[in-house]
Amino acid sequence: MNSDPIGITREEFFGLNYYRYGEAYFGSCRGMRYRLAADPLNRLKPGQQPDGLELMATVWPEPLAYGKADPEEMTSEKFPFSEEGLNEAVKWIQTRYDTDAERWKKALEQPLV
């Protein structure tokens, strides 16, 4: 197994405007899948302020995509819809990876069905 440190970094994610316009970002890291999106997920009109909008980060084990994964296997957290919130969300995703490393490792060992 590769012993290199795992780093889910802010540079991997799109800028805040990407999420403002109703798009979600998906990624994976050694058995953990993740999603970052605005909540609620809807497209703001140009000039419309993101009042009441938050960022929601979600993690779950491989191999299934977000729409097919068991919601019971998902863990989510909400963050302010701001640059600071975006940075916090990325740190939270990294922390989830570090905290549950054995869970993600086991997910990689599961056969695809």
Domain boundaries, the chain: 15-108
What integer is the mean pLDDT of 39-53?
Answer: 76
When pLDDT is cut at 50, 70 and 90, the band that residue 20 belongs to is confident
C-alpha distance across the termini of the chain, in Å: 23
Q: Does the pLDDT of residue 29 top 80, yes or no? A: yes
Helix (H) or strand (E) holding 86: helix 83-99
Q: What is the mean pLDDT of residues 15-44?
A: 90
Q: How far is the C-alpha of 13 from the C-alpha of 87, rounded, in Å?
A: 10
CB burial of residue 109 (10 Å; 0-12, 13-18, 19+): exposed
Task: State if pTM tops 0.85.
Answer: yes
Average pLDDT, the chain: 89
Mean pLDDT of 67-92: 96
pLDDT value for 76? 98
